[in-house]
Amino acid sequence: MSELTERPERSELSVRAAELDAADELAKLRSQFVLDDVVYLDGNSLGALPAAVPGRVEDVVRRQWGELRIRSWDESGWWTAPERIGDRIAPLVGAAAGQIVVGDSTSVNVFKAVVGAVRLAGEGRDEILVDATTFPTDGYIAQSAARMTGCTVRAVTPRDVPSALGPRTAAVLLNHVDYRTGRLHDLPSLTSAIHEAGAVAVWDLCHSAGALPVGLDEHGVDLAVGCTYKYLNGGPGSPAFLYVRRDLQDRFDSPLPGWNSHVDPFGMRSEYEPAGGAPRGRVGTPDILSMLALEAALEVWEEMSIETVRTKSLALTDFFLDCVAAYVPEGRVESVTPSAHADRGSQVALRCDDAREVMRRLIAQGVVGDFREPDILRFGFTPLYVGFGDVERAARVLAGLVG
């Protein structure tokens, strides 16, 4: 018997995990996903497959495309899918209907949002502030948007945004949750500071949509983008979404006008006139196969409160940190994820000297997280299908590898 299995903390934590799983009101949702005996803690990169998706995709391919063909744009609701699915995402990010359109990639939507934000800000404002810790693509897009609009870009940490704002600030692009550390940034206060400076707030929700309450309408966010293949479980490369606050929609000037966002798309007119409302964020023909796979994936959220999901998310990450503290030898790993609930997303990042090799071995032993340069073990907790027993097992296997 190993030293680890003899330690009393293990049995106590195993019992605690079983008790927490028995009391978990979300545990019933696990059966709505295609899962095996692997502990899957990488839903912050790619969510697990919802069981409803394969049958829906088969219907889309065989019947809607194979039999109805072109008729499906009307009869199967293909044409209205971007707004219809946007309205299904809206409650999960605290938005009323009619403000979200689904389509294109996150990067494309970031470009639309940042350029659109500069144009909303008006003349005399020629600086874009961007999160210095952002996912690299957001920074690349901001640089390109700056070249297109005659702006400069300045990278600052989110906590330094209030002091960096000024009369020249046009737009501020921030991540709601830091993709490396899992730090949750203060969207309400930062949005308020941006507005007080007369600038436009753009939020990237890739690591918060479907994991925690966002409150887009409540906090007056101007523009937001997010992916759907992480906590929303839409599938690899599933289309992203774009939020434009309702009172800004008639002034939102997209840098990518396309026939799908025209007020009369089938009029085929040479002059562009944008549609009203959320469709103004569309560009070209929607990717129907992945769009409708996402729609099927979102069915698991019916009658599900994002606040309930957040409560379990915090309980899972708390329990994981407790298990790591009990099982892993002191000094072997270090959490870089904030311990305070108000500052934590739905992931835990552990610094470890040989993180790449440790993660490779974890995956080989049935615990799937991911590695981020230079030394981060990253674990994402999707409350819809991750249980407390999974969490205890993950920490125990980790301890066996690094102990």
Q: Among all residues, which ones are annotated catalytic?
A: 135, 204, 229-230, 378
Q: In what order do the strands lie in the sheet with 241-244?
A: 100-102, 241-244, 223-226, 200-204, 169-175, 127-131, 152-156
CA dihedral 324, 330, 332, 334 (to 10 degrees): 60
CA-only gyration radius of the chain, Å: 22
How many C-beta neighbours within 10 Å does residue 330 have?
6
Half-sphere exposure of 153 (CA within 13 A, CB side): 20
Give how far Cα 134 sits from Cα of 169, 207, 237, Å: 18, 12, 20
What's the order of all strands across the beta sheet hosting 334-335?
334-335, 347-351, 376-380, 370-372
- Give the position of tokens 């006139």: 273
Alpha-helix runs per DSSP H in 150-199: 161-164, 187-196
Answer whether 82's CB lies under 8 Å from 258's CB. no
CA distance 228 to 204: 12
Residue 303: strand, helix, or coil: coil
Amino acid at 189: S
What residues pair up with 334 in beta bridges, in sequence order? 351
- For tokens 């007020």, name the residue: 263
